[in-house]
Chains A and B, each alone.
Chain A
Amino acid sequence: MSLKMPYIRILVVGALICLLPLVLDTFYMHIAVLVLIWAFLACAWNIIGGYAGQHSLGNGLYMGIGAYTVAYLVNRFALTPWVGLLVAIALSAAAAAFIGWIVFRYALKGAYFALVTIALTEAAVYVVSNIPALGGAGGMQMEYRGNSLAYMQFAGQSGYFYMGVLMVVFILLLTQWYKSKRFFYQLIAVRENEDAAEALGVDTVKAKIKANVMSGVLCAVGGVFYAQYFLYVGPRSVFGEVVSVQILIYAIVGGLGTTWGPVVGAVLLVPLSEIARGQLGNSLPGSQLLLSGVVMVLTMLFMPFGIIGAVARLRQRWQHRSATPLVDSQGGEAS
């Protein structure tokens, strides 16, 4: 297989997805945009959680920083969201670097790392809820200023849809490109065996901080897009453990540490929970969360490496099976 193949695959799938607005109605277009937002966020989480193996339960923090930064700057100073995006990137990078530096310097791992990240994103909910300038517990509504790329606002959903496709294609290409680079090998070494990684010259603390920054910045970008799509940010809708866990469920169900896993997870689960919300939202509120939980438990029980992992395994088994006759005849000769 050519080295270019994975890139071509991403571009082809991206181009095909662009045809969807021709066939989807408003309700399904809304779901499609949500799929793209969550797929992007899950891909971003996958860098620290999947490749570096540090299971952050608090990436909502960075998504929230992105969403709130853009909402505040647009509302308060009437800036274009593109400036807000740059500020969001800078703020989230600083936050992720600082948190990463503290947490990894003191070698917090596994459950301890997860707990600190969840505590920080929860703390952010309460901090933001108590700052009147950020809208307090009610959050902030953003004004619709018209169908314009300069305002990152679109009249219909298709504008958001195409922007989402661009973002997801971008993050997939980025992941694929990074996969052959020293940095990703170092992250995988950290995930697989930290002592051995150190002994082979990998500065594990630095690698983890870099991964946290990359993941955090991309989550903030996802948060900016989220804010622009809903034109509303609330403490619980962008910060906190519910969104943080939602992000990682898609990556885990799809396949940790794989390029496509987070996308596959989001494509399957987001529509499921949205339809559940639509159908059962009144009679059984919260049922979509329950459903996501059940799918995740089933995945972990039956497909510990996610959907991508299960597919790879099936393919392997199929190849082995087609090779079986050879083994049999050799075995026959020996006996």
Chain B
Amino acid sequence: MLEVRGLTRRFGGLVAVNDLSFEVNEGEMIGLIGPNGSGKTTTFSMLSGALRPSAGTIAFNGERIDGLKANKVCRKGLARTFQVVQPFPDITATENVMIGAFVNVGAGRQAEAKAREMLERVGLTPKADTLAKELTLLQLKRLEIAKALATEPKLLLLDEVAAGLTSTEVDVMLQLVRQLNTEGITCIIVEHVMRFVMNLSHRCIVIDFGSQIAEGTPEEILNNPAVHAAYLGEEASIA
């Protein structure tokens, strides 16, 4: 479904992402993990079209998408959420989601119906008519997902949707993402909350200083000494 070859991004002299290659198959849940500043979000930005790669290719369903603008990538069925939530603050939650729904729907009333359906799906129905700027962090993270879902993605990039949430909230989010996957949406998850990412991923890719250092099932990753040295530390466990 997604094929990344030699993906590289330089910022001046800094190589944020270096020759990254990986594949994602339909229906998979991929964890993309690594220490702060290892290039995870930069990778997401390139996949979603927000940032142009310095080198390398990205193919989505057999079609090259590197160099396309973000709105085109989104309309091809690849949506993302933002690590730092990006709501439209002065309009309601429903209206926020409607913007995404308009990708596939022309009429306002249909878009609204679709938006309310997405809010239901992420459990935000009680806040449907609240201004986005009045929502809590958990609600905003759910709103991010609802907005992305409204565009009907085949591949969803989730950038730290569990970060900053309490333990109970992480459980709620975990269930929600698992549900999306069973509904057929392929996901790539960037996450520091190990419990979240290890529970969800079928396969993990670990990057450090922009380069891939390991790939495998969550168990393999947790037992990989290189990953421990670079990221997890000696004490890490599934918790």
Residues of A within 8 A of B (CB): 180-182, 185-186, 188-189, 192-193, 195-204
Contacts and interface: CB of A to CB of B under 8 A. Distances in A.
B99 A197 contact: yes
Contacts of A195: 50, 70, 82, 86
Interface residues of B, number: 32
B88 A182 contact: no
Contacts of A180: 108-109
Among A196, A198, A200, find the residue whose CB has the most chain B CB atoms closer than 10 A.
Answer: A200
29 contacts: A182-B102, A182-B106, A185-B111, A188-B88, A188-B99, A189-B88, A192-B88, A193-B87, A195-B50, A195-B86, A196-B82, A196-B87, A197-B71, A199-B48, A199-B74, A199-B82, A199-B86, A200-B79, A200-B148, A200-B150, A200-B151, A201-B71, A201-B75, A201-B100, A201-B102, A201-B151, A202-B102, A203-B69, A203-B71
A203 to B, nearest CB: 5
Interface in B127-164: 147-148, 150-151
Given A185-B98, A186-B99, A199 B50 contact: yes
Interface stretch (B24-32, B55-63, B89-97, B178-186): B89-97
A181 B70 CA distance: 22
Given A192-B91, A202-B71, 8 more contacts: A185-B98, A192-B89, A196-B88, A196-B147, A199-B50, A199-B80, A200-B103, A201-B102
The secondary structure that dominates the A interface is helix
Contacts of B103: 200-201
A198 B70 contact: yes
Contacts, number: 82
B90 A192 contact: yes
Contacts of A204: 71
Contacts of A202: 71, 99, 102
A186 B108 CA distance: 12
A181 B108 CA distance: 6
A55 to B, nearest CB: 16
Nearest to A182: B102
Contacts of B69: 198, 203
* A-B pairs, 6 with minimum CB distance: A192-B88, A196-B86, A180-B108, A201-B103, A201-B74, A198-B70
A193 B151 CA distance: 17
A193 B88 contact: yes
